[in-house]
Structure 1
């Protein structure tokens, strides 16, 4: 990562929402984005996946305006838009958390797909368990990986 940024190239880092928000981690600590931005201002572009339907009304407007299919993925910029100004719960405007939201379809059209059972290596599962205990104090891999965690 440091090599890429030193050369003035761009990089995409996908770590999970708590590690990439422009507003920092949920506990208030600096996250990856804040740390990278402090050394390389303007070097990040945070895209969050909209899997809860936040974009659905706005996407319908875009679909009508551009004559697109509602099932076409859309990357929605947040800066200077009504969507970006919209508050997400009590945590402030979306534009303070990310640069864009990726819309893949309405939530009811999305399917959750788990890796096949036995397809994950034991060392990877052990690492997930270790991180789960640090973050939540309990083992959660089995809950979000289903049979793949066996």
Structure 2
């Protein structure tokens, strides 16, 4: 736990909400839609855990994360950031790096390249490395007791010891349970607060007993009794007039009852109201405005790295078209096919 805890009065000052409590502040007819920074900081006033669900590889989501991390108020109310895109095997290395130690680039790249998702997802998009380097830069500006700690949430797979698909599957089966264990052991048991940055599928609430029960946030909530405030990224024509990076609460709005399957482009969620799965929506723009963070194809000309990706693909049954990594990718975000839910 930090040396100086944030009091409620101090928290209000940090989040910028103090002005709402002054008698001289004039009343307005409508409250402006908060941006992501404001919404996350306000959520931590009532929750020790806030989850930010993403669509992997979306540049605008990475940009929003950068702005949040760079907000000088953020390290005053958050202790840890739990990320999906980092292998827990390298936690000691990440701790040293974010504290300012000199870490060789080749060693650092192992954090995002050697996850359970390789070789389907290599983590080589610029937004991944940029995330870790931004945390390191932020930590230069704050006292040691307020440094942000990045907790790597992917299970500690050691690819140098992996030779079979069964070994890979054993680690894949641990992904959500490992997230829950990290949060329980390294955040809550130490009296700390954490932002959880994972794919939306891992962080959505359980809408009914047994549904999503083995996913990350439902496991955390069941094991610890701590309710997580969940923000998922999403788009809809009705949000077009909102500023980008706006966060709209589900409760009390049309989002509360909208079909999650159509809204999230996820057929398994058809028939479920969005308000049962998430507390708020992060609006980053209409689909035609969105872009993807693409890797540099030259990365994959490294013979040693390429050979290792081929080895991993062979373990997985050669199901992945590795040649795509050596090709330039389009800037536009690939729009998923529209989801048609029954009765919609």
Q: Determine if the TM-score, normalized by the shorter chain, exceeds 0.5.
A: yes
Q: Is the Cα–Cα contact under 8 Å of residues 114 and 146 in structure 1 kept in the other structure? A: no
Answer 1 or 2: higher relative contact order, Cα 8 Å, separation at least 6. 2
**Larger-Rg structure:** 2
Q: Does 1:74 align with 2:246?
A: yes
Aligned counterpart in structure 2 of residue 85 of structure 1, from 257, 266, 271: 257
TM-score, normalised to structure 2, is: 0.31
2:223 aligns with: 39
2:287 aligns with: 107
Q: Does 1:22 align with 2:205?
A: yes
Q: Does 1:3 align with 2:186?
A: yes
> Equivalents in 2 of 1:104, 1:146: separation in Å?
29
> Equivalents in 2 of 1:10, 1:43: separation in Å?
12
Runs of 4+ more than 4 Å apart = 140-143
Structure 1 pair 91/14, CA: closer, same or farther in 2 (3 Å)?
farther
**Paired residue total:** 126
Specify which structure has the higher proportion of helix.
2
TM-score, normalised to structure 1, is: 0.64
Q: Is the Cα–Cα contact under 8 Å of residues 10 and 43 in structure 1 kept in the other structure? A: no
Q: Is the Cα–Cα contact under 8 Å of residues 37 and 43 in structure 1 kept in the other structure? A: yes
SS of match in other structure, 1:22: coil
SS of match in other structure, 2:206: coil
